[in-house]
Amino acid sequence: MRRRELLGALAGAAAGWPGVAGAQPRKRLVGFLHPGNSATVSQRLVAFKEGLSGPRIGGDLDVVARLGNDQMHRLPEMAAELVSLGVEAICAVSPPPLEAARAATQSIPIIAMDLESDPVARGWTKTLARPGGNVTGIFLDFPDFSAKCLEFLREALPGMGKAALLWHPATGDLQKKAVEAAAATLGLQLEVYSVSGVSDFEPAFRAIAVSGAQGTVMLSSPLFGGNPQVLADLALANRVAAINLFPEFAERGGLIGYGPDLQALFAQAGGLTRKVLDGISPAELPIERPARFKLVANVKTARALNVTLPTSILLRADEVIE
């Protein structure tokens, strides 16, 4: 090879070497696995990206979102795809995506946002303070919280003797068992209505409306948290006095919403993911709880349902909708 050709070949090769001026920075990828669809998840993804942004993260950063569109059987394939793309971390929202991510990788950090499970009892982490594996994230002891929501509903409807429970089985039965136990303690008759997708909402509400239940509790699930307007409209149309464990339900026209602020929750998950990208091992990154909770009471809806919300609830509410 002549000298000029040799120098040209070396120059071309050097352009791709790390640290050489003009080289393209390595694109960093973060996976985001959610069981919902783009129409309901888009705002959550914006909050996650806001929490993820930080000055210490070098190079270009892309969030690769995979959404199950309420088809849980697709999640394992999507998790495997994220692993094959070389993501540096996966944010898995709710138990089914978390299970899929855990099955796909034992090495890539998984940041869970799971409001329905006990990570220690499920064997996903050793302790809350030191998870010890590749899973960390945000968990909430929602069984007790769900029971508290039933107590809130009883406080709002003091004459309630029968309640309905709207449950998404894919999230597990931990919450359901807690509410059933609380109902027995309160002397309430409880009927459980299970749904697997948005198409099940309308027949469930029709059944609740004719069941004689005076109030309804919706357990925690991304299926419910991601469709507050649909649920609020159906509850009002069927004259169902309901409490949802996500405040947006009441903001959109439901009676009471009490639980984590979802936008703040996704930003918090983004912040945890940023810590992992900054080099903190998920094995040493303590489990967090939701940082912000809201109680929202909709007095306008109460009037439409001929319900008088007690002063005790209105005084505690972060937001009262007139």
Residue 37's pLDDT is 86
Which amino acid does the sequence have at 120? V
Domain shared by 63 and 79, yes or no: yes
Q: In whole angstroms, give the CA distance from residue 308 to residue 295.
A: 17
pLDDT at 21 over 80: no
Mean pLDDT to the nearest integer, 169-183: 91
Domain shared by 272 and 305, yes or no: no
Could you report the per-residue pLDDT of 64-93, keeping only the tens digit for each? 999 998 888 999 999 999 999 999 999 999
Residue 190's pLDDT is 97
Split into its structural domains, the chain has a count of 2
Mean pLDDT to the nearest integer, 99-122: 95
Q: What residues are paired with 194 via a beta bridge?
A: 167
Say what percent of the chain tops pLDDT 90. 74
Higher confidence at residue 18 or residue 130? 130
pTM for this prediction: 0.83
Domain shared by 203 and 150, yes or no: yes
Whether residue 17 is contained in a domain is answered as no
User: Could you give the maximum distance between any two Cα atoms of the chain, in Å?
Assistant: 95
Q: What phi, psi does 100 have (nearest 5°)?
A: -65, -40
Whether residue 18 is contained in a domain is answered as no
Could you report the per-residue pLDDT of 264-306, keeping only the tens digit for each? 999 999 999 999 999 999 999 999 999 888 999 999 999 999 9
Range of the domain at 232: 142-260+293-321
Domain shared by 153 and 221, yes or no: yes
Whether residue 15 is contained in a domain is answered as no
Domain shared by 177 and 298, yes or no: yes
Could you report the per-residue pLDDT of 26-43, keeping only the tens digit for each? 689 999 999 988 887 898
Query: Token match 């790390």: residue?
Result: 18
Residue 92 and residue 76 in contact, taking contact as beta carbons nearer than 8 Å = no
Domain shared by 129 and 215, yes or no: no
Task: For residue 45, count other CB atoms closer than 10 A to its CB.
Answer: 18
| Confidence grade of residue 55 (pLDDT, cut at 50, 70, 90) | low
Domain shared by 37 and 62, yes or no: yes
Domain shared by 135 and 167, yes or no: no
